[in-house]
Amino acid sequence: MSTDLLVQLGTKGAETIIKVTKDALGNAIKDKGASQSIGFPETNYYLPLINALLKIEVKTLGDCLAVLKQAEGLNNNQPASDGFKIDALGGVLNKGIATIICEEILAALKEDHAGFLSDTLLRSLGIQLVDGRISGIAVILGPAKDEDSAVQLIRDFQSKSIVSILVGNVGGNSFKKQLENKKVELGLEDYIVPLGEDYLSAIYAVNWAVRASLMYGGLKSGQWQEILKYTQQKVPAFVVLLSHVDEVIVATGLGVLAMGFPIITDLEVPQLGKIDTTLYEALVTEKDYKKIVSKCIEVRGLKVKVTDIPVPVPYAAAFEGERVRKEQLHVEFGGKAKLAFEYLTAKNINEVEDGKIELIGPDIDQLKKGSKSLPLAIIVEVYGRKMQKDFEPILERQIHRFINYAMGLMHVGQRDMNWIRISKDAFSKGFRLKHIGVILHAMLHQEYSAIVDKVQVRLYTKESDIEKLLPAAKKTFEERDERLSGMTDESVDTYYSCLLCQSFAPNHVCIVTPERLGLCGAYSWLDAKASFEITPTGPNQPILKGKMLDKRLGQWDNVNEFVKQKSNKTIEKVSMYSLMDSPQSSCGCFECIVAIIPEANGVMIVHRDYSGMTPCGMTFTTLAGSVGGGVQTPGFLGVGKLYILSKKFISAEGGLKRVVWMPKELKELLADKLKKCAQDLGDPGFVDKIADETIATTSEELIKFLKQVKHPAMVEMEPLI
Ligand code: SF4
């Protein structure tokens, strides 16, 4: 196949798709009328690709007609109405864009949108993408040459922390089926996301990728040059085309290349070196399945964190969410089964022998007949010149993640509420208890070498030992909690920045204080402090607060100056405690949104998992669309869940007492702590005055309820505006 043939096929493919779309749209309008609404579920971006590139908000079938016209123009190399036109490769990529635009319309015309990936899903992945837990996104089109090759390829991608999105089939055979036949678990938590068995579903991966630029990049629809640059440079996606190609796939491929995503294939195709829209090679053949993953990494320029841990099971972040079910269980510890706890503590230099791993008690190949559980204490002792007492709980919390990265191991909870399972498969591969020590030793060194010099691990499996050791550990847990809850913003002179999300939202700056954690919920002040010790030039920088400018709003001169510089001068000042006056910006991966409800003189809070309607007339997804992108939006604020419980929670506006509504699930999740806050406020019954969706989903219902319960926002608090 020559490059000319590729162009010929692409041209034919684009024409075919335009015709199919024209017919399908014509029929739909004939049946249902032009005013019939059209769209995807749980997105604030209409038909996201079209919205982003052409600045058209498609809401009805009639709106699609205008889009189709633009696609036809692009197919003939004429610029779209917002000027969109790509000159690379002699303009042939415009045919590709015309194709994927039509494919988005075709996908929206379908009754079933099962493969569509919601805005919420993209937001929930934000942190994993920025902190490197996800190093890339492979869109796999078509089945592998055989089932074993499919498993090998997917395991290779998982071990490199690359998420695989599965699309398409050839004669009924798909990559998804191949994996299912081999009993491979699928799901986002396993880094494998099947979108659909038809090739058209690939558009869901494309319109998902394009949303990142609007959600995190602070870009507006119609800024197509910036958007394409963003997808090229910030969205680490690429296509793996297997077993089959036809003219429509070629045309779609041209669209994908226009967005900067290279294609790696096992097919004999002409090779395309770097083109203007890609960072490196555009189209590459690799027939050896063992080499496909490394070729993808090279061609997309991915930065993969390799975790080479000497244990007999695969080890990578991709296995973090894997479950070990009852039927796969070899042994479990903790949970309801047996007593267990884990504890990490700092010791003096002479008390720690680096790499020493001891098992005191029977191993998992010495279980009593018929038994599937053992008690377990994991005691990790570390020494480090820069280690501090404050870092102990942070390192201890990593035990959860580090154990979960091992394939066939499941870890839930922490401290003396942990629950660990080891699968039959991991056991038969040779996994034994000492390997938990091997993992913890290696990972603590790998990720925390700046503060940890020596690590030793002891594992106890005799109940009498555990009963003896537990009380001292529990005492430390309590002391740590007390110390943390006693920490206030006033008790420190330094706050920390978090700039991690700038790789997606270039102007966003989180300021993390003892009483306000990062809006993603993942970084507390102590986490940021430890992270700075570990990587002094990293995203968490200390900010000496400086002169207080406004106590009520929570403004300091050095904080303002830092935010101004790091937000690329887009933010002049920031209030740590206010929703209304210069609030913090939001990047997009917030756990919750706080939004003003003027008529209630209060605020509502909605969390990411709540998909229903809220009294401000918007769902989480719609609200999130106007809050993210690294901009300040007075009246709206992205926050971490735990900040709601802080004494500094929007204290400039009256704090928790301003909250008039939150979803039932969120209320229940925070129930005990909310009640404690209410008591501290001197209003023990306050939590019951906060409405939820079972009471009100409209502003009218809400006001009626608030008046009934005499909510403080309605009866005693100052006007918000
Ligand atoms: S603390 Fe802020 S900047 Fe840092 S990862 Fe979380 S949301 Fe992103």
82 C-alpha to ligand 1 centroid (Å): 34
Of the chain, the end-to-end C-alpha distance in Å amounts to 67
pLDDT digits (tens, 9 = 90+) for 227-280: 999 999 999 999 999 999 999 999 999 999 999 999 999 999 999 999 999 999
706 C-alpha to ligand 1 centroid (Å): 34
498 C-alpha to ligand 1 centroid (Å): 6
Amino acid at the residue 448 = Y
Tell whether ligand 1 has an atom less than 6 A from the beta carbon of residue 500: yes
Nearest protein Cα to ligand 1, atom 1: 518
96 pLDDT above the threshold of 90: yes
CA distance linking residue 614 with residue 624, whole number of Å: 13
Tell whether ligand 1 has an atom less than 6 A from the beta carbon of residue 256: no
Would you say the C-alpha torsion 14, 19, 23, 26 has a positive or negative sign?
Answer: positive
517 C-alpha to ligand 1 centroid (Å): 9
pLDDT digits (tens, 9 = 90+) for 538-561: 889 999 999 999 999 999 999 999
36 C-alpha to ligand 1 centroid (Å): 41
588 C-alpha to ligand 1 centroid (Å): 9
- Per the CB < 8 A criterion, the answer to whether 543 and 574 are in contact is no
Tell whether ligand 1 has an atom less than 6 A from the beta carbon of residue 522: yes
* Other Cβ atoms closer than 10 A to 349: 10
Tell whether ligand 1 has an atom less than 6 A from the beta carbon of residue 203: no
Tell whether ligand 1 has an atom less than 6 A from the beta carbon of residue 406: no
If you average pLDDT over every residue of the chain, what do you get? 93
Tell whether ligand 1 has an atom less than 6 A from the beta carbon of residue 510: yes
483 pLDDT above the threshold of 80: no
9 pLDDT above the threshold of 90: yes
501 C-alpha to ligand 1 centroid (Å): 6
From the CA of 540, give the closest atom in ligand 1: 4
Segment holding 427, helix H or strand E: helix 424-428
What Rg value do the Cα atoms of the chain yield, rounded?
Answer: 27
Tell whether ligand 1 has an atom less than 6 A from the beta carbon of residue 523: yes
- Which residue did the predictor score with more confidence, 26 or 480? 26
- Which residue did the predictor score with more confidence, 506 or 285? 285
From the CA of 590, give the closest atom in ligand 1: 7
**381 token code pair:** 């002792």
630 pLDDT above the threshold of 90: no
- The residues with which 241 forms a beta bridge, in sequence order, are 141, 265
pLDDT digits (tens, 9 = 90+) for 638-658: 999 999 999 999 999 999 999
CA angle 301, 302, 304 (to 5 degrees): 145
- Which residue did the predictor score with more confidence, 166 or 484? 166
pLDDT of residue 588: 80
Tell whether ligand 1 has an atom less than 6 A from the beta carbon of residue 440: no
The gap from C-alpha 63 to its chain's centroid, in whole angstroms, comes to: 32
Tell whether ligand 1 has an atom less than 6 A from the beta carbon of residue 127: yes
Tell whether ligand 1 has an atom less than 6 A from the beta carbon of residue 505: no
* Other Cβ atoms closer than 10 A to 320: 21
Of 136, 147, 106, give the one whose Cα is nearest residue 243: 147
Q: Read off the pLDDT band of 2 (50, 70, 90).
A: low
499 C-alpha to ligand 1 centroid (Å): 7
Helices (H), 283-360: 289-300
509 C-alpha to ligand 1 centroid (Å): 8
pLDDT digits (tens, 9 = 90+) for 487-527: 999 999 999 999 988 877 889 999 999 999 999 888 889 88
CA distance linking residue 185 with residue 163, whole number of Å: 13
520 C-alpha to ligand 1 centroid (Å): 6
pLDDT of residue 705: 97
Mean pLDDT of 619-646: 90
366 pLDDT above the threshold of 60: yes
Tell whether ligand 1 has an atom less than 6 A from the beta carbon of residue 528: no
Tell whether ligand 1 has an atom less than 6 A from the beta carbon of residue 511: no
Mean pLDDT of 405-426: 93
- Per the CB < 8 A criterion, the answer to whether 231 and 213 are in contact is yes
1 pLDDT above the threshold of 80: no
pLDDT digits (tens, 9 = 90+) for 25-35: 999 999 999 99
pLDDT of residue 308: 78
Tell whether ligand 1 has an atom less than 6 A from the beta carbon of residue 580: no
Nearest protein Cα to ligand 1, atom 6: 520
Tell whether ligand 1 has an atom less than 6 A from the beta carbon of residue 589: yes
Tell whether ligand 1 has an atom less than 6 A from the beta carbon of residue 129: no
Nearest protein Cα to ligand 1, atom 8: 501
pLDDT of residue 551: 97
156 pLDDT above the threshold of 80: yes
Mind giving me the DSSP string for 459-522? Answer: EE--HHHHHHHHHHHHHHHHHHHHHHHT--GGG-SEEEEE-GGGGTSTT--EEEBTTB--TTS-
pTM of the model: 0.77
Tell whether ligand 1 has an atom less than 6 A from the beta carbon of residue 587: yes
216 pLDDT above the threshold of 70: yes
User: What secondary structure letter does DSSP report for 37?
Assistant: B
CA distance linking residue 51 with residue 55, whole number of Å: 5
From the CA of 499, give the closest atom in ligand 1: 3
Q: Read off the pLDDT band of 333 (50, 70, 90).
A: very high
pLDDT of residue 306: 65
Mind giving me the DSSP string for 301-368? Answer: T---------SSS-B-GGGTT----GGGEEEEEETTTS-EEEEEEE--GGG--TT-EEEES--TTSPP
CA distance linking residue 11 with residue 518, whole number of Å: 49
3 pLDDT above the threshold of 80: no
Q: Which of 574-583, 624-633, 660-669 has the lowest mean pLDDT?
A: 624-633
pLDDT of residue 527: 87
Tell whether ligand 1 has an atom less than 6 A from the beta carbon of residue 242: no
Q: Ligand 1 pocket test: pick from 127, 523, 643 the residue with the most ligand atoms within 8 Å of its Cβ.
A: 523
CA distance linking residue 518 with residue 642, whole number of Å: 10
pLDDT of residue 397: 87
Mean pLDDT of 285-302: 94
523 C-alpha to ligand 1 centroid (Å): 7
